[in-house]
Homo-oligomer: A and B are copies of this chain.
Amino acid sequence: MAVQDEYILVTGGAGYIGSHTVIELINHGYKVIIVDNLCNSCYDAVARVEFIVRKSIKFFKLDLRDKEGLAQIFDTFKIKGVIHFAALKAVGESMKLPLEYYDNNICGTITLLNVMREHRVKTVVFSSSATVYGDATRFDNMIPIPESCPNDPTNPYGKTKYAIENIIKDLHTSDNTWRGAILRYFNPIGAHPSGLLGEDPLGIPNNLLPFLAQVAIGRREKLLVFGDDYDSHDGTPIRDYIHVVDLAKGHIAALNYLNKINNSEGMYREWNLGTGKGSSVFDIYHAFCKEVGKDLPYEVVGRRTGDVLNLTASPNRANSELKWKAELSITDACRDLWKWTIENPFGFQIDNYKWKLFNTLGIMDYKNRLHTICFQDLEVSIANYGALVQAVRYKGRNLVNGFNDFSRYKLKENPFFGATIGRFANRIANGQFEVDGHLYTLCKNENNKTTLHGGNNGFDKQFFLGPIARQYEDYNTLEFILVDKDGNNGFPSDLETLVKYTIKNNSLEIEYKSVIPEYSKLNVTAVNLTNHSYWNLASPNKTIDGTIIKSTTNVYLKVNSETSLPTGDIVEWQNDITKPTKLDPNISFDNCFIVDREASKFCLDTRKYSLKNIVEVIHPSVPVKLVVSTTEPAFQLYTGDGNDICEFQSRSGFCVETGRFINALNNEKWSKQVILRKGEVYGARSKFSLYAQDLEENKHFLDSASYNSGEYY
């Protein structure tokens, strides 16, 4: 029997601290399941965690109070322990909505503990708060605050944390095999150094640094400093600010600590997670201004009710028992926060971007989503599955073949609709290649002889991680990433591939970047990437016949008619396709045209080259022109003859598959186009530009004898 994977269940794993902790868990070799009701967070944070750790993470959108749903997760997976973040967490809000806080936090926890007990999972790390101490200054000499400081929370939020600590404590008293670690956070700040993950507060931020960050990017006018007449070095109150990554690591320390306890034994223990160093409001203000590079506006106003001079942790217990210590500075936190802020000025969610689950009926699988992003006239929908382009809507008209029903993409008749093709687009003769004296045998998925489009489990059949959606002034981008495993389809080496879609007003640009990651055992592989969108300017429900196509090149790779593989000769096409050519059933293409006979000039990473127009397409009845440009040396022109799937028949769309020469891998002259070694980068760019032009202009296009070569941009 196979050993079942053991997981750490992270509740609230989509939240600020939860998501950072998931990264640390995965970095420490734990497998993670995230449960989050997303009531105050978004799945995009999880997608970014996956992007950062380059791994898919099991995610369930679930409220902890849904006992049946939760039990199902425990039934399905072997859960070893739980880190429990899920909670509403705003002090002020808790005073306005106490019932929601008590319900969500306490009942959620009780349900969780019940389900854990029913499944004999008795290890829990609980996300508590220094709020349970209340005003520690009510005692003499209680700063820095030790865990022994009596509890007296002063608001519903703090009372829920206090109640939950007690529940876990009483549970341990009743059954001492329970292992409960209570982590009392002080003031978490900062963001992930990648700039991909950080705090994304809804509404007006309650905390100092998120507020300052919004002032820095102009979302808020000025910082309000509540009192500068405290007995501190600069008159502002002192708190213990801790970098969220340090805080996250505290959870790993606590979990490891609990896991070291003998099986039959339990424990219950509280630990402060703080730095032990207090910083004043002005300390933080100055540190952040330094990162931003300018003095931010602020105004000193009166003290806030309930504020006290100093709430600094004594982290001694965690330092000595958990062997954990905060290592990052206020400066680190300010730098990471500023990077997060400028790279994501509106947090995870950007305008003009939305996504939905792209699942077959009844399945709720978050790795399978469909993302729609638009910029003015252009709206593009892209799925995680194959990072495929499901729709390209220009001025409301969809110009590519695609399905609304995900299950159709899984049909074996699917001719790679819109998909990213990799690790190796087009054909590899005999499904094998030799490099450095080693012969690699691949998945021969075409007639049991040839490898087509990377094999049976190509990029088109895998779920890409991400995307990272970003918003810029002139465009928006979506970045997906895929880790194709060493040995998949027979290819050597792990391969990380970034696919970046840039959506402008009238163009969709696709950028590919592949590298063999450091951790890969092997050091070499073969890469050739393209996108397999079927275009149809007139109507996806009709054939492309009547479409007029014009190319900048008329040379192509001659192929052996039996094997469809190149002979090595570069020859002229039978007709001059640099002249407008009207497609009809007698004109079929499935040929690799060569942009430049001097292929030797092409390197592995063509991204630095400027885009060259290669194909220009119109349809007499449609006021749109498509221009395809690329940095690549070749493109397969394909008219989709013989396709037959659902509403799409033969010749429903044509493809312009930019890329390297067919079978370059097995051709001495060409193989440098496609052999990638560790430390090198494979890269490419291709662009599909769309122009509104009226039907008169279309006629002119037909009449034009010559073609204006060169870049549009």
When C-beta atoms are compared, the residue in chain B nearest to A173 turns out to be B95
What is the CA–CA distance of A159 and B167 in the complex, to the nearest angstrom? 9
Residues of A within 8 A of B (CB): 95-99, 102-103, 106-107, 110-111, 113-114, 117, 156, 159, 163, 166-167, 170-171, 173-174
When C-beta atoms are compared, the residue in chain B nearest to A65 turns out to be B107
Tell me how far the C-beta of A533 lies from the nearest C-beta in chain B, rounded to whole angstroms.
48
Report chain B residues within 8 Å CB of A159: 163, 166, 170
Tell me how far the C-beta of A176 lies from the nearest C-beta in chain B, rounded to whole angstroms.
12
A95 in contact with B170 (CB, 8 Å): yes
Report chain B residues within 8 Å CB of A107: 106-107, 110-111
B98 in contact with A102 (CB, 8 Å): no
What is the CA–CA distance of A170 and B113 in the complex, to the nearest angstrom? 25
What is the CA–CA distance of A106 and B114 in the complex, to the nearest angstrom? 14
What is the CA–CA distance of A85 and B415 in the complex, to the nearest angstrom? 67
What is the CA–CA distance of A592 and B173 in the complex, to the nearest angstrom? 74
A117 in contact with B98 (CB, 8 Å): no
B110 in contact with A174 (CB, 8 Å): no
Contacts A159-B163, A159-B166: A174 and B98 contacting too (C-beta < 8 A)? yes
B113 in contact with A171 (CB, 8 Å): no
**SS of A interface (majority):** helix
A106 in contact with B110 (CB, 8 Å): yes
Report chain B residues within 8 Å CB of A166: 156, 159
**For the complex of A and B, 10 pairs with smallest distance between CB atoms:** A98-B170, A107-B107, A156-B170, A103-B110, A102-B167, A163-B163, A98-B174, A102-B110, A98-B171, A96-B174
Copies held by the complex: 2
Most buried by B among A159, A171, A174: A174
Can you list 12 A-B pairs with a CB-CB distance of less than 8 A? A96-B174, A97-B174, A98-B173, A99-B110, A99-B114, A99-B117, A99-B167, A102-B167, A103-B114, A106-B106, A106-B163, A107-B111
What is the CA–CA distance of A167 and B163 in the complex, to the nearest angstrom? 11
Tell me how far the C-beta of A377 lies from the nearest C-beta in chain B, rounded to whole angstroms.
46
Tell me how far the C-beta of A635 lies from the nearest C-beta in chain B, rounded to whole angstroms.
60
Report chain B residues within 8 Å CB of A163: 102, 106, 159, 163
What is the CA–CA distance of A68 and B690 in the complex, to the nearest angstrom? 54
Most buried by B among A95, A97, A110, A166: A110
Report chain B residues within 8 Å CB of A111: 103, 107
Report chain B residues within 8 Å CB of A102: 106, 110, 163, 167, 170
What is the CA–CA distance of A330 and B113 in the complex, to the nearest angstrom? 43
A98 in contact with B156 (CB, 8 Å): no
What is the CA–CA distance of A113 and B329 in the complex, to the nearest angstrom? 45
What is the CA–CA distance of A98 and B117 in the complex, to the nearest angstrom? 12
What is the CA–CA distance of A686 and B606 in the complex, to the nearest angstrom? 108
Report chain B residues within 8 Å CB of A174: 95-99
When C-beta atoms are compared, the residue in chain B nearest to A117 turns out to be B99
Tell me how far the C-beta of A15 lies from the nearest C-beta in chain B, rounded to whole angstroms.
22
Tell me how far the C-beta of A584 lies from the nearest C-beta in chain B, rounded to whole angstroms.
64
Tell me how far the C-beta of A672 lies from the nearest C-beta in chain B, rounded to whole angstroms.
66
Tell me how far the C-beta of A468 lies from the nearest C-beta in chain B, rounded to whole angstroms.
39
Report chain B residues within 8 Å CB of A171: 98-99
Report chain B residues within 8 Å CB of A167: 98-99, 102, 156
Tell me how far the C-beta of A144 lies from the nearest C-beta in chain B, rounded to whole angstroms.
25
Report chain B residues within 8 Å CB of A173: 95, 98
When C-beta atoms are compared, the residue in chain B nearest to A108 turns out to be B107
What is the CA–CA distance of A46 and B669 in the complex, to the nearest angstrom? 94
What is the CA–CA distance of A97 and B102 in the complex, to the nearest angstrom? 21
Tell me how far the C-beta of A481 lies from the nearest C-beta in chain B, rounded to whole angstroms.
42
| Sample of 17 further A-B pairs with CB below 8 A, known A103-B111, A103-B114, A107-B110 | A95-B174, A96-B174, A97-B174, A98-B170, A98-B171, A98-B173, A99-B110, A99-B114, A99-B117, A99-B174, A102-B167, A102-B170, A106-B110, A156-B166, A156-B170, A159-B170, A163-B163
What is the CA–CA distance of A111 and B65 in the complex, to the nearest angstrom? 11
What is the CA–CA distance of A98 and B97 in the complex, to the nearest angstrom? 26
Report chain B residues within 8 Å CB of A114: 99, 103
Report chain B residues within 8 Å CB of A170: 95, 98, 102, 156, 159
When C-beta atoms are compared, the residue in chain B nearest to A167 turns out to be B102
When C-beta atoms are compared, the residue in chain B nearest to A164 turns out to be B102
When C-beta atoms are compared, the residue in chain B nearest to A163 turns out to be B163
Report chain B residues within 8 Å CB of A99: 110, 113-114, 117, 167, 171, 174
When C-beta atoms are compared, the residue in chain B nearest to A116 turns out to be B99
What is the CA–CA distance of A103 and B96 in the complex, to the nearest angstrom? 24
Tell me how far the C-beta of A700 lies from the nearest C-beta in chain B, rounded to whole angstroms.
67
Report chain B residues within 8 Å CB of A103: 110-111, 114
What is the CA–CA distance of A106 and B159 in the complex, to the nearest angstrom? 13
What is the CA–CA distance of A111 and B111 in the complex, to the nearest angstrom? 13
Tell me how far the C-beta of A139 lies from the nearest C-beta in chain B, rounded to whole angstroms.
15
Report chain B residues within 8 Å CB of A95: 170, 173-174
What is the CA–CA distance of A167 and B162 in the complex, to the nearest angstrom? 13
When C-beta atoms are compared, the residue in chain B nearest to A170 turns out to be B98
What is the CA–CA distance of A225 and B117 in the complex, to the nearest angstrom? 37
What is the CA–CA distance of A206 and B103 in the complex, to the nearest angstrom? 31
Report chain B residues within 8 Å CB of A96: 174
What is the CA–CA distance of A111 and B67 in the complex, to the nearest angstrom? 15
What is the CA–CA distance of A17 and B103 in the complex, to the nearest angstrom? 27
When C-beta atoms are compared, the residue in chain B nearest to A95 turns out to be B174
What is the CA–CA distance of A173 and B102 in the complex, to the nearest angstrom? 14
What is the CA–CA distance of A237 and B97 in the complex, to the nearest angstrom? 43
What is the CA–CA distance of A174 and B173 in the complex, to the nearest angstrom? 34
Report chain B residues within 8 Å CB of A98: 167, 170-171, 173-174
Tell me how far the C-beta of A674 lies from the nearest C-beta in chain B, rounded to whole angstroms.
61
Tell me how far the C-beta of A138 lies from the nearest C-beta in chain B, rounded to whole angstroms.
13
Tell me how far the C-beta of A66 lies from the nearest C-beta in chain B, rounded to whole angstroms.
12
Tell me how far the C-beta of A602 lies from the nearest C-beta in chain B, rounded to whole angstroms.
66
